Amino acid sequence: MKAAVLYQANQPLEVGEVELDPPRRGEVLVRIAAAGICRSDYHYMKGEARMELPAVLGHEGSAVVEAVGEGVTRVRPGDHVILSFAPHCGQCFYCLRGRGNLCEVSMVQTGGKMFDGTTRLHLGSTRITHMGKVACFAEQAVVPETGCIPIPRELPLDSAALIGCCVTTGVGAVINTARIEPGSTVAVVGCGGVGVNVIQGAHLSNAARIIAVDPLEGKLEFAMKFGATDSVNPTSADPVAAVKALTGGRGVDYAFEVFGSSETVRVAFDMTRRGGTTVVVGLAPLGDAAPIDASALVRQEKTLKGSYYGSSVPAVDMLRMVQMYRAGVLKIDDQVTRRYSLDQINRAYADLERGEPGRGVITFG
- Of these partners, Zn ion, ligand APR, none, which one is at the site of residue 54 (CB under 5 to 8 Å by kind)? none
Q: Which does 190 bind (CB under 5 to 8 A by kind): ligand APR, Zn ion, none?
A: ligand APR
**Residue 4 engages Zn ion in binding (rule: CB under 5 A):** no
Q: Is 84 in the site for ligand APR (CB under 6 A)?
A: no
- Please indicate whether residue 261 is annotated as part of the active site: no
Site string for ligand APR, 116-155 (x = CB under 6 A): ----------------------------------------
38 assigned to active site: yes
Active site residue 165: yes
Q: How far is the CB of 265 from ligand APR (least distance, A)?
A: 11
When asked if residue 59 is in the footprint of ligand APR (CB under 6 A), the reply is no
Span of 51-59, 156-164, 256-264, 290-298 interacting with ligand APR by CB under 6 A: 256-264
Q: Scanning residues 149 to 168, which ones bind Zn ion (CB under 5 A)?
A: 165
Nearer to ligand APR, 133 or 219 (CB): 219
Is there a catalytic annotation at residue 89?
no
Which of 141, 191, 252, 348 touches ligand APR by CB under 6 A? 191
Q: Which of 194, 255, 265, 345 binds ligand APR (CB under 6 A)?
A: 194
* HEC-encoded secondary structure of the chain: CEEEEECCCCCCCEEEECEECCCCCCEEEEEEEEEECCHHHHHHHCCCCCCCCCEECCCCEEEEEEEECCCCCCCCCCCEEEECCCCCCCCCHHHHCCCHHHCHHHHHHHCCCCCCCCCCEEECCEEEEEHHHCCCCECEEEEEHHHEEEECCCCCHHHHHHHCCHHHHHHHHHHHHHCCCCCCEEEEECCCHHHHHHHHHHHHCCCCEEEEECCCHHHHHHHHCCCCCEEECCCCCCHHHHHHHHCCCCCEEEEEECCCCHHHHHHHHHCEEEEEEEEECCCCCCCCCCCCCHHHHHHCCCEEEECCHHHCCHHHHHHHHHHHHHCCCCCCHHHEEEEECHHHHHHHHHHHHHCCCCEEEEECC
Decide: is 196 part of the binding site for Zn ion (CB under 5 A).
Answer: no
- Identify residue 327 by its one-letter amino acid code: A
Please, are residues 227 and 210 in contact by the beta-carbon 8 Å criterion?
A: yes
Whether 59 is a known active-site residue: answer yes
> Is 184 an interacting residue with respect to Zn ion (CB under 5 A)?
no
Any contact of residue 82 with Zn ion (CB under 5 A)? no
58 near ligand APR, judged by CB under 6 A: no
Q: Least separation, in Å, of the C-beta of 101 and ligand APR?
A: 13
**Residues lying near Zn ion in the complex (CB under 5 A):** 38, 40, 165
Active site residues: 38, 40, 43, 59, 165
**Residues lying near ligand APR in the complex (CB under 6 A):** 38-40, 43, 169, 189-195, 213-216, 219, 234, 258-260, 264, 281-283, 352, 355
